[in-house]
Structure 1
Amino acid sequence: MSKVIVITGASSGIGEATAKLLAKRGDKLVLGARRETKLQQIVSDIEAAGGTAAYALTDVTDLASVKALAQTALDRFGRIDVWMNNAGFMPASEFIKGKVTDWNRMIDVNLRGVLYGIDAALATMRQQKSGHFINIASVAAHTVSPGGGVYSATKAGVWMISEALRQEEAAAKSNVRVTVVSPGAVATEFVDHVTDEGAKQALANYYAQTAISPKRIATSIAATIDLPADAAINEIVIRPTSQD
């Protein structure tokens, strides 16, 4: 049976790859991101391949915008079966560089964006007595390295938010599942967001040698969505085989 799946940060990378894979299987996709031209192209690609998709311009740091994305799904398809909080931001730099604007943006996108997604969709899932949140964290949620302090803190926060939500929904017996996905190095646009030139070059070199396709992450997400409703994969850690 097809599902209605909302994905934030859907204009590239893991979001785009997941949308296209799920649409190919027959799921109905509702895509949110800030780049309308990219969203239009992805929806066009999905429809050309026989799939079904809609989009809404979405800024995950704006609660009203995220709620409008949820309303798009409800207006178009009448329900929300899966909400994937995928939008993320990773401008690595050491603290001494004082990249306060980058720190604030990471907090806004990586933490508030997830919270706003939960707020936008949870009441609908409770009413349906079913649903599934997929929150994209990172292997950085489990470790930290120089230059990655704020990013790791936000992604550890995503892990904690996800686990608290899982416990709350289990206690409520709402049949709402929660999965946190922690990818390693994936070939996305993340490196492009780094404003510290030294860190950017180092990351670019590392990713060029190590990163895997976002299609690998999409495949793991599809597998957890497919699990029968009486069970949930609560965490996936997936990294390149060569990543230490």
Structure 2
Amino acid sequence: MKKIFVFGYVFLLTVTSSAQSQKFFDAPFGGGGGFTPAFYFANFDAINSKLATSSFPEFSQKGIFTTGGGGYIYVGFIKYLRIGGMGFGGMVSNNFSDAVNSYQIDYSVGGGGLTIEYTMPFIKDFGVSLGAIIGRSSLTMEIFQNQSSYSWNDLFSTASQNNLLKLSRSSWMLSPTLNIDYPIYRFISLRIGTGYHFTFSGDWKANNDQTISGVPENLNSNSFFIQLGIFGGFFSF
């Protein structure tokens, strides 16, 4: 009986040691979600050309900082494939004035969609994934013109002196992406990624869904972006 016990104990230690020296999964496994700030290199050429004709200050070409979130899960039945979703939004403002009016232009971008990615199988310990985002994007410009202060009693009489013009367009979005995910702990992963938003179709509307014509073709949501992220979940690369 003692010999059987010793043999069983040695066998158990051997199996345990072997299991600890091997990777539990033969492909990336798990998933999670988290915070994904990004920087979008928006094209301000169209609005800057319009501002230049009135000698108004132009938008800086530094781009737009956005905040958002995302997540994914490895589907399992197809090795190295993960599916998830993401969303983002951000705004930059331009303020200026002339002898009569003060102005503010808020330039906003946003969107979201389904993410499909394939993690490179020959890279171990961290994930390098090629993929795409399929979804919708929006571009909105709100142009404020203020000539006088506001009073509730004179609200309608001052409305002709103070104006708001809102231009917006919603489009389909297809974005090829490259992401690198590095797990700093089994349940926390850091991300750096990049991609390009291609947008298609969608009509420009003014204010309460009014038609506007003559909008330049280069006034759109097409944009190169760089993304960072921190995710919580379970990660095994």
Say yes or no: TM over 0.5: no
* Higher relative strand content: 2
TM-score normalised by the chain length of structure 2 = 0.29
TM-score normalised by the chain length of structure 1 = 0.28
* Higher relative helix content: 1
Larger radius of gyration: 2
